[in-house]
Amino acid sequence: MRFDSINLFPGHSTKNISNVLLNNYLIYLEKNDNSSDSEDKIDNTKLIFGLIIELTYLASKLTTILVFFIYTTLNLRIPFNVLREFIRGITIFAQKLKNWYKLMSLLKFIEKCKIVQGTCPICREDMEMGREIWCGHGFHSVCIKRWAEKQMQCPVCRKEIMTKSDGIPVQLIQ
């Protein structure tokens, strides 16, 4: 059972403002950069900074909850609802950090994948320079990166993207 909390943390608006500023900066980069790799570079920048914004927001939210929890525990009694929110926040933060690590590995992994042609199963458009992952399915590099933001499984066969055929995880970041 999952309990959704009411978001009263003031950092939520800061997170939204940061995302708007990031998007405006990326639009500026896109207009001023005429190189052929600019779209891929902008997508990578958006992924990385988007995750940094989200991790910073979660860290500040957890710090605020911890300070509130310590204050109320010392002055009143143990607020179990805040404790539950803090534990859930730590779990989410750990998962986001794990996804950050996997996504950074994926960015390096995609550049080393074989170039293929065909139709991308994610966006259903023709590919001139798609990337084939280890399970044999090809995608636009942008599409598979955006897919991996949400889940690290192949959209066609549901196998883990970051594992080799023998089931051993790919470790590209030392």
Q: Is residue 87 part of a domain?
A: yes
DSSP character at residue 146: H
In this structure, are residues 144 and 153 in contact, taking their beta carbons and an 8 Å threshold? Answer: no
In this structure, the answer to whether residues 104 and 124 fall within a common structural domain is: no
In this structure, the answer to whether residues 100 and 15 fall within a common structural domain is: yes
How many domains does the chain contain in total? 2
**Per-residue tens of pLDDT for the chain, all 174 residues:** 444 454 555 555 666 676 677 676 767 666 666 665 666 676 777 777 777 877 888 888 888 888 887 887 778 777 777 778 878 888 888 888 887 887 788 778 777 888 888 888 888 888 888 888 878 888 888 888 888 877 778 888 888 876 654 444 444 333
Q: What is the DSSP string of 75-118?
A: HS---HHHHHHHHHHHHHHHHHHHHHHHHHHHHHHHHHSEEEEE
Q: Measured between alpha carbons, how far apart are the two ends of the chain, in Å?
A: 37
Q: Record the pTM.
A: 0.50
User: How many helices (H) and strands (E) in the chain?
Assistant: 4, 3
Q: Is residue 21 part of a domain?
A: yes
Q: Residue 153 maps to which CATH number?
A: 3.30.40.10
Q: Is residue 25 part of a domain?
A: yes
Sheet containing strand 138-139, edge to edge, reads 114-119, 126-132, 138-139
In this structure, the answer to whether residues 84 and 64 fall within a common structural domain is: yes
Using DSSP, state whether 129 is helix, strand or coil. strand
SS3 assignment for 26-51: HHHHHHHCCCCCHHHHHHHHHHHHHH
The residue segments making up the domain with residue 127 are: 113-174
Point out the domain boundary residue: 74, 109, 144.
109
Q: Is residue 2 part of a domain?
A: no
Which pLDDT score is estimated for 10? 56
In this structure, the answer to whether residues 117 and 86 fall within a common structural domain is: no
